[in-house]
Structure 1
């Protein structure tokens, strides 16, 4: 498909019994969104029309069967299936989970083929997506297999970015998963992403300890002294501005996080609880480290409010804009490094503003 000036955002529909489709169509009720990018929703026109009518939303949908039918200025719906889907808001249903995966696989193929520029994924239910052919705990693990690179869950807002050493790992197994090689690899991924995706020239990264109080000199565990500190010291010696390990219990409450461009937590809840507390409704889940851009909102299917028309659009809207921003930053970074003498349009604009 021939690329137009506006980038094309592919959107997998997620769990249709949740809030994803509702939020998506609410966002595109505002036609000004189409000034920024061209959306392609992977579902079916029948399904999206049902959702539109259920919530009485005023949004025009453009049904397409192939990517060369995608139009700018339209909310495009790529038809992944033809049959009617039995949607029961708030209900966990493996049949609905199968449609979520059908949408994800079609959107990922379009991303790999270059038919869409970035991917934004609506929330799924990690339980009802499991099958003989799909045995991944979530989007990130699946995309790590399908795309080039090495994925890292990176939760981001304009002012806070939190990456994880381990993500969907049982608490009892966390310490055994963390090794010098893993720490080095994850820090490298975050460092690289901050430079390419967020335009930070010399990133400052904080790393949280594995144990309470970073082990208290071995009293509450030795992993921070034996594994974490020596590894961070080697990374510092290579020239990167990496600091820690910091005791996680006071790090966010003391506002120390504001001194860094990113924080790397040892495990899921250590990083995501403070992140969502500080930014819930505006946070974005970005999969760093891959050769393609993928984002998602920071919430789940929210079955408890599905179908009621009360779901907030904030995080999903941020996920859309963040995907576009990262895509543009990454493209600009690549162009500048192909020609080091080139000056970006954005820099010229910023210079003109300062003048």
Structure 2
């Protein structure tokens, strides 16, 4: 083909394209129906910024599936080294925020695949924690109201703290970190409404109902040589029968670069679980600062034997920005129907109150 003929042919092709005519031997695809592989394009190439794609968001999809796996199979995460499984379980409810973040990114990225994948962690979180968001059931005639509070050994207003706890109208009040001279203030302030009380070491129980057989509970982990009395057991004679009340303060845990340091806490939880298992009374209440959440496998010796709250998150620590509920109320042969926090006191913990339905 001569140069002149080639130029003439190219000119004719440009003229056909400008006039909207289809090239010879080809069918022109309407602009509104144009699409790329794997994409729905509602308005053609001019709407490229508004496309929803199945091929986008693969990283978001992977994170959604990973989050669902951690929620559903958190017990499969090994606890060694560094008690990583327990560390994950302490903050397990907060994976819901990860789901919300991934949802925002999926909408921003306009990834249909990621949105569908987010159904997995949403379902897992709802199954695990959704029931805690439901309103509490109506109180019944055989209910007890209890309050659990680590009052802090640095609390500068023990009298105000005691008055704040009585405002909830509980039948039982369990306290930890009781030290002199604050202990005398708690005893004096609570005495008018709670004539029965027992204190062993740094833990105590105040009751509207008579207490008997109060004794020290040995839950000291090995290696602790200094005075360490953080367990108490007493029988409470309620109008609905005799129950055993346990008050405990398990060892603290620390989060560091190597993970969660919780060996002493886990050992003490095991000793407490053995005491509960050996308790002859049918109904048992456990109130305490357990330095762990009910999802933490370190508290398995207790959660495997006792029921936990069915309603309410009640994050209690730290008081300034509560991230986890480490102040617990558990029961055997009774139901912890609902748990919630009370207003802040002079402690670094928030008080929690729970309604116990006796069976």
Please give the TM-score of this superposition, normalised by the length of structure 1.
Answer: 0.30
Would you tell me which structure has more strand in proportion to its own residues? Answer: 2
Q: Looking at secondary structure, tell me which structure has more helix per residue.
A: 1
Larger RCO, structure (CA 8 Å, separation 6 or more): 1
**Structure exhibiting the larger radius of gyration computed from Cα positions:** 2
TM-score, length of structure 2 as denominator length: 0.30
